[in-house]
């Protein structure tokens, strides 16, 4: 063959090879969808990659493989050298970090906060600032690409080469890359990858619950006996928390080789896990998947048939060109179903639990220790009386607020109440005792029952899955089984059950416990008013002419505790404005809380003190060590949390006045709440205009910015955050989206109950 023909043939062959396998540069050029910032665009890009799977595979594996572990080790060595005793070594390490550290800003920021020496922290701060000044556009683009590629890997099926690349990517400095790589490893890897996941789990303490859940979710998807053996060892070694065991149980029920592990969990020491593992769950034909609308964290929606529900992901079908989309659980705010409502029938009551659930059924009896209700879902069940908030017998009753810490209450038709101890109930009457006197009240005249409310104790950070059913029931449950037709779960204090998905209206994940009736109390400083909204944003109660009102809360007895900043007093009044208690020896107070012991904790702001006052007006505790308290809170451990505007800080002090925790450098700090998980929710007014959550080490784990002079923020049981601002009150979900809003001239306090 002439040389020219050989050259042409080689050129043709070279072009064919190039057309078959993308280069790394071609991969970057063809994946612009990963840089658009929306999940829908990411899914569209993944579908395009799958359509070109053979061409993209080699470049995708190479890009994911990277040099992540080597890079992280080098950065950690350089960070350690910032504390070297030799000045020249410290200088060189700082210079190299400025040049190389743009991919490792999270590590540098952590060292800035927690470095062992002052110089180490100062140098880390300088490195961070220098990198920010220089710009990180190229590095940011590389990380966005890698996040997209590890997410795409989840759809490529079992591929040893890709699994090896994902293990490498698990050593990246970006936490979202790491999370995506580990999640996809469950789909791409095989049993030999189980050992890596177990090692990874052993390096994560239980405070890293989200990362541990991702590792376990991946491990439960790996095929073969090696993965099941690894899970069995973790259970036998008591290496998993109760919530982790529930996640494992939910996932392995979808396998054919998990009978031994499920039996092990059913016979285990954890009563919640054992009960739900014992739930009868016979295999049924898959059937037709139910259509669902998935609401994502950015409030966009994906619609399609629900194909699967796991501890770490949810699968729906036919979205953006993908036959099945596996959406990480933390991206999903809720699932909605178009199921028709079923109205209450005559004789149905609504039982509200302290945990926050609502059960519909027939009320059978009440004893000294329990309430018996006949439920369509749970059958005849006895619920411990201490676990019951109240019972609405009337279908029209919209609230049961006003429970007492001293006695039960029977609310009659028309609003009149009887106080005492509810002793018994039958089909005709309710018996209530008050001292030596007993009264039998015809059942037909009763609207609702409120049981004695326990004194505030320790709070739980336990999270649930919320199920809203077609019957109006609201169940906060632990899921333990799911397929295309059914959900199996445990409702704490009630029992385990199975419901068809066709009877579910909505599923919401990661919801905290606690009963809410949907009422919002707002203090409006500009209008000198306190008003209450119902769940339809209707003003159902209003107090005007409250001079300089800065704080208000609804007490257990239904009264209001109001701080009148301009008058220098704190007053408790009934809803018809009758004053029942007040304390006036104050200088422009900003906050007051009624304590479980009946005393009142007050931020005497311009008196530069925090005081606890008893019912007789005697001051029984004081903290006045150079503070200007804007907000105060008595914690379950007896300590007091103070937002100190004088020194721009939040402090926790014990009964002796010693500071046991603090968060400093908070210009414009205005409010601080300790959350059930031990973190602290802080509001900064003026300069920062933000609300943020910090852990015990001071690391920011959640933040809402761009607010309008916020004065107060509360974390709700469902995980949302309600904020009082100039001009409005807004509720934000855990992704920072506004989900509820009400206009107010100048909202300074808001609370939801």
| Cα–Cα distance, 454 to 404 (Å, whole number) | 9
Q: What is the pLDDT of residue 27?
A: 95
Task: Give the C-alpha distances (Å, rounded to integers) separating 507 from 289, 303, 501, 611.
Answer: 16, 14, 10, 44
**SS3 call for 236:** helix
pLDDT score at 50: 94
Q: Rounded to two decimals, what is the model's pTM?
A: 0.80
HSE-CB for 83 with a 13 A CA cutoff: 13
pLDDT of res. 283: 81
Work out the burial of residue 476: count CB atoms within 10 Å of its CB; fewer than 13 is exposed, 13-18 middle, 19 or more buried.
buried
Burial class (CB in 10 A: 0-12, 13-18, 19+), 41: middle
Classify residue 20 as exposed, middle or buried by CB count within 10 Å of its CB (0-12, 13-18, 19+). Answer: exposed
Query: How deeply is 217 buried, as exposed, middle or buried, from its count of CB atoms within 10 A (0-12, 13-18, 19+)?
Result: buried
Backbone dihedral angles phi then psi of residue 664, each to the nearest 5 degrees: -100, 175
pLDDT at 517: 58
Predicted local distance difference test score (pLDDT) of residue 399: 64
Beta bridge partners of 303: 293
As to burial, measured by CB atoms within 10 angstroms (0-12 exposed, 13-18 middle, 19+ buried), residue 14 is exposed
- Cα 169 to Cα 61, 72, 176: the distances in Å are 10, 11, 11
Residue 469 · residue 504 · CB < 8 Å: yes
Coil, strand, or helix at residue 499? strand
Q: What is the pLDDT of residue 417?
A: 87
Mean pLDDT of residues grouped by 10 in the chain (753 residues)? 41 44 93 92 95 94 89 91 94 93 85 88 93 88 95 95 95 91 96 96 86 95 96 96 95 95 96 94 84 89 94 90 91 93 93 91 93 96 93 82 77 88 91 92 93 60 89 94 95 95 94 72 95 85 92 88 95 93 96 95 98 97 96 96 96 96 94 93 92 90 95 90 96 90 96 87
Range list of β-strands (E), 460-528: 463-469, 474-482, 486-491, 495-500, 504-512, 520-524
In the chain, count H helices and then E strands. 17, 42
Q: How many Cβ atoms are within 10 Å of 257's Cβ, its own excluded? A: 12
Q: What is the pLDDT of residue 11?
A: 36
Separation CA 500–CA 485 (nearest Å) = 6
pLDDT number for residue 153 = 97
* Rounded-to-integer distance, Cα 615 and Cα 619, Å: 10
User: How many CB atoms are located within 10 Å of the residue 471 CB?
Assistant: 22
* Number of CB atoms found within 10 A of residue 417's CB: 14
């Amino acid at each position: 063959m002439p040389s020219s023909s050989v050259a042409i043939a080689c050129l043709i062959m070279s072009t064919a090879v190039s057309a078959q396998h993308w280069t790394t540069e071609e991969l970057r050029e063809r994946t612009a969808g990963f840089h658009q910032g929306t999940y829908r665009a990411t899914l569209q890009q993944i579908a395009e990659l799958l359509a070109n799977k053979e061409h993209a595979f080699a470049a995708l594996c190479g890009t994911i493989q990277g040099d992540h572990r080597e890079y992280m080790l080098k950065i950690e060595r350089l960070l350690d050298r910032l504390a070297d005793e030799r000045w020249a070594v410290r200088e060189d390490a700082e210079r190299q970090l400025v040049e190389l550290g743009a991919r490792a800003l999270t590590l540098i920021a952590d060292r800035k906060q927690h470095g062992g020496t002052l110089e180490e922290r100062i140098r880390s701060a300088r490195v961070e600032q220098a990198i920010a000044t220089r710009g990180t556009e190229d590095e940011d683009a590389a990380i966005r690409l890698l996040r997209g590629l590890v997410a795409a890997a989840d759809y490529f099926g079992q591929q040893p080469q890709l699994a090896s690349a994902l293990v490498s990517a698990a050593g990246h400095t970006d936490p979202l890359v790491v999370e995506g790589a580990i999640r996809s490893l469950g789909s791409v890897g095989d049993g030999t990858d189980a050992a890596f996941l177990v090692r990874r789990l052993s390096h994560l303490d239980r405070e890293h619950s989200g990362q541990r859940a991702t590792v376990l979710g991946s491990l439960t998807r790996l095929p073969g006996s090696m993965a099941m053996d690894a899970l069995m060892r973790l259970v036998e070694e008591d290496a998993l928390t109760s919530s982790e065991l529930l996640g494992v149980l939910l996932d392995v029920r979808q396998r054919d080789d998990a009978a031994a592990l499920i039996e092990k969990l059913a016979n285990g020491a954890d009563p919640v896990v054992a009960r739900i593992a014992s739930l009868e769950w016979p295999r049924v034909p898959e059937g037709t998947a139910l259509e669902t609308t998935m609401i994502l964290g950015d409030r966009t929606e994906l619609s399609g048939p629900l194909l699967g529900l796991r501890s770490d992901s949810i699968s729906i079908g036919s979205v953006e060109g993908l036959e099945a989309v596996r959406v990480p659980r933390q991206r999903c705010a809720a699932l909605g179903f178009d199921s028709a409502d079923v109205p209450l029938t005559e004789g149905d009551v609504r039982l509200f639990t302290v945990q926050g659930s609502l059960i519909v059924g027939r009320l059978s009896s009440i004893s000294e220790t329990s309430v018996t209700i006949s439920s369509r879902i749970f059958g005849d069940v006895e619920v411990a009386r201490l676990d019951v908030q109240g019972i609405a017998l009337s279908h029209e009753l919209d609230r049961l607020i006003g429970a007492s810490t001293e006695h039960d209450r029977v609310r009659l038709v028309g609003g009149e109440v009887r106080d005492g101890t509810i002793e018994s109930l039958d089909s005709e009457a309710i018996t209530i005792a008050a001292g030596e006197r007993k009264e039998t009240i015809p059942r037909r005249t009763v609207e609702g029952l409120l049981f004695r409310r326990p004194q505030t104790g320790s709070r739980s950070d336990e999270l649930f899955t919320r199920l809203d059913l077609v019957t109006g029931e609201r169940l906060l449950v632990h899921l333990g089984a799911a397929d295309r037709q059914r959900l199996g779960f445990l409702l704490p204090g009630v029992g385990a059950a199975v419901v068809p998905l066709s009877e579910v209206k909505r599923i919401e994940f990661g919801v905290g416990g606690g009963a809410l009736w949907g009422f919002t109390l707002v203090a409006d400083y500009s209008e000198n008013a306190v008003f209450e909204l119902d769940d339809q944003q209707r003003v159902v109660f209003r107090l005007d002419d409250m001079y300089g009102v800065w704080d208000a809360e609804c007490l257990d007895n239904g009264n209001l505790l109001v701080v009148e900043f301009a008058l220098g007093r704190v007053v408790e009044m009934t809803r018809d404005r009758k004053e029942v208690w007040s304390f006036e020896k104050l200088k422009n107070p900003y906050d007051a809380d009624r304590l479980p012991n009946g005393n009142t904790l007050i931020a005497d702001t311009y008196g530069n003190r925090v005081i606890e006052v008893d019912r007789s007006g005697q001051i029984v505790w004081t903290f006045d060590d150079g503070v200007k308290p804007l907000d105060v809170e008595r914690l379950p451990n007896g300590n007091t949390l103070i937002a100190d505007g004088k020194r721009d800080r939040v402090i926790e002090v014990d009964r002796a006045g010693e500071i046991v925790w603090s968060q400093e450098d908070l210009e414009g700090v205005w409010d601080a709440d300790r959350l059930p998980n031990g973190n602290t929710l802080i509001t900064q007014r003026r300069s920062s205009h933000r609300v943020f959550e910090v852990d015990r080490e001071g690391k920011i784990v959640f933040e809402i910015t761009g607010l309008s002079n916020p004065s107060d923020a509360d974390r709700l049981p469902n995980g949302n955050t309600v904020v009082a601002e100039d001009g409005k009150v807004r509720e934000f979900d855990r992704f920072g989206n506004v989900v509820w809003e009400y206009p107010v001239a100048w909202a300074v306090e808001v609370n939801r109950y």
